[in-house]
């Protein structure tokens, strides 16, 4: 293939013959070719795992101690924990917050996992979504509600407590605050403790989403990307 029909992208050769064919036919121009190359660069960058798990032999003593404690309590520290291990003291402290919010919150799993799915959707965090989608359904959340959240739609057919939670959490994520009416409805459904724990879940899983997005942690091999970026 002639050199002028090839474009080098991160060490590879991308054939551009088809593009030139369409260009001659007036169906694609120079701008479209540039956009195509930008997309290829973006896809390559997104695939890079910036902070993979640290091999045991490369860990500091503090990291080894944190891993031993984590393994004893919850198993292997994968996903976001493999990233957070870069700060072992932060890992130790966050594990306590995670244990409470995941397993001891006043909100039942149907609702606590609903908060997590809303957060994962707002941050387009597929690892977080994949980890909690099954847990949400097992907790009693309707598959139709989860599907609507994944699509960026307001779910239909929500129960009163689900509707109050959805309005509260989406307002908090998107506006950074909640209206008096939204607060009053959430207060009637969950009380002050429930509100604080909804905020805690939203904030904690925002942190986890930010960690995963920053590190570009890849999905597990048995998971499929579900969330597409929002058009904002």
How confident is the model over 156-198, as pLDDT tens digits?
999 999 999 999 999 999 999 999 999 999 999 999 999 999 9
**CA–CA gap between residue 226 and residue 130 (Å, rounded):** 8
Asked if the model's pLDDT at residue 232 lies above 80, the reply is no
SS3 (DSSP) at 15? strand
| Structural tokens at position 130 | 């994949």
CA-nearest of 120, 151, 152 to 133 is 120
Q: What integer pLDDT is reported at residue 224 of this predicted model?
A: 87
pTM of the model: 0.79
56-81 burial by CB neighbour count: b if 16+ within 10 A, else e? eeeeeeebeebbeebeeeeeebebbb
| Mean pLDDT of the 68-76 span | 95
- The per-residue pLDDT for range 208-223, each reduced to its tens digit, is 999 999 999 999 888 8
* Residues 105-215, CATH architecture: Up-down Bundle (1.20)
Q: What ranges do the domains of the chain cover?
A: 3-46, 56-100, 105-215
């Amino acid at each position: 293939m002639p050199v002028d029909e090839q474009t080098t992208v991160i060490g590879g050769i991308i054939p551009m013959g088809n593009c030139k064919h369409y260009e001659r036919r007036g169906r694609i121009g120079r701008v479209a070719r540039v956009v195509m190359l930008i997309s290829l660069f973006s896809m390559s960058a997104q695939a890079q795992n910036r902070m993979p798990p640290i091999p045991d032999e490369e860990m500091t003593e503090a990291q080894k101690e944190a891993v031993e404690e984590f393994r004893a309590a919850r198993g292997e520290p994968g996903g976001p924990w493999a990233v957070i291990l870069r700060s072992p003291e932060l890992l130790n402290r966050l594990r306590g917050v995670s244990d409470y919010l995941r397993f001891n919150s006043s909100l039942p799993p149907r609702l606590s996992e609903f908060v997590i799915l809303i957060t994962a959707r707002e941050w387009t965090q597929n690892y977080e979504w994949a980890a909690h989608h099954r847990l949400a359904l097992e907790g009693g959340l309707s598959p139709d509600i989860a599907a609507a959240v994944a699509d960026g739609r307001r779910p239909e057919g929500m129960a009163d407590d689900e509707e109050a939670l959805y309005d509260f959490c989406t307002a908090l994520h998107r506006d950074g605050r909640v209206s008096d009416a939204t607060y009053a409805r959430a207060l009637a459904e969950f009380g002050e403790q429930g509100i604080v724990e909804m905020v805690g879940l939203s904030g904690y899983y925002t942190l986890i989403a930010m960690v995963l997005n920053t590190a570009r942690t890849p999905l597990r091999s048995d998971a499929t990307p579900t969330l597409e970026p929002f058009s904002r």
